[in-house]
């Protein structure tokens, strides 16, 4: 079964504003999740500058032996990335859907301050449903 291990949302200045651990293996503490987010933000920014291709938007997929890391960067610079089991399909569409949830439930929340950690119950509920329904869809294939 394909699995999503964790989800991160990083603001445009590199701060971790949301983290969700979806897996049961290798749970990270808060400091480790902050380190991963900071490291990814730095690698993403460096890859944009070093790319020989003009207009490169940074790393979108990092494949390792034990995990894949898929990244989606929105126009304002907010990065959404998931760490998942190698070969998990349709992560790009899941990330775009998570971005839609973010715009619908977080950015439209009058109590949310831009660039601050996300504390929105409706976003959490809909995000959990999206991840669970993605798992169900993957099992059906």
One digit per residue, pLDDT tens: the chain, 141 residues?
458 889 999 999 999 999 998 876 667 788 888 999 999 999 988 988 888 888 888 899 999 999 999 999 999 999 999 999 999 888 999 999 999 999 999 999 999 999 899 999 999 999 999 888 765 454 444
Whether pTM > 0.95 for this model: the answer is no
Give the length of the chain: 141
Res 1: pLDDT:
43
Determine phi and psi for 63, rounding to 5 degrees.
-110, 130
Cβ atoms within 10 Å, residue 60: 17
Res 68: pLDDT:
94
Determine phi and psi for 85, rounding to 5 degrees.
-65, 145
Res 24: pLDDT:
63
Res 141: pLDDT:
40
Of 11, 73, 69, 68, nearest in space to 48 by CA: 73
Adjacency order of strands within the sheet including 61-63: 16-21, 4-10, 79-84, 68-73, 61-63
Nearest 5 degrees, angle CA 58-CA 59-CA 60? 115
Q: At what angle do helices 121-140 and 91-101 cross, to 10 degrees?
A: 160
């Amino acid at each position: 079964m394909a699995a999503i291990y964790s989800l991160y949302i990083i603001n445009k200045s590199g701060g971790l504003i949301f983290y969700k651990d979806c897996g049961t293996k290798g749970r990270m503490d808060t400091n480790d999740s902050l380190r991963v987010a900071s490291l990814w933000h730095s690698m993403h920014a460096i890859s944009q500058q070093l790319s020989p291709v003009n207009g490169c938007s940074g790393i979108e997929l990092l494949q390792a032996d034990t995990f894949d890391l898929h990244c989606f960067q929105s126009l304002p610079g907010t990065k959404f990335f998931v760490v998942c089991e190698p070969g998990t399909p349709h992560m790009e569409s899941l990330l775009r859907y998570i971005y839609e949830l973010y715009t619908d439930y977080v950015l439209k929340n009058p109590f949310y301050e831009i660039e601050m950690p996300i504390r929105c119950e409706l976003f959490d509920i809909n995000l959990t449903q999206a991840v669970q329904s993605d798992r169900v869809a993957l099992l059906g294939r």
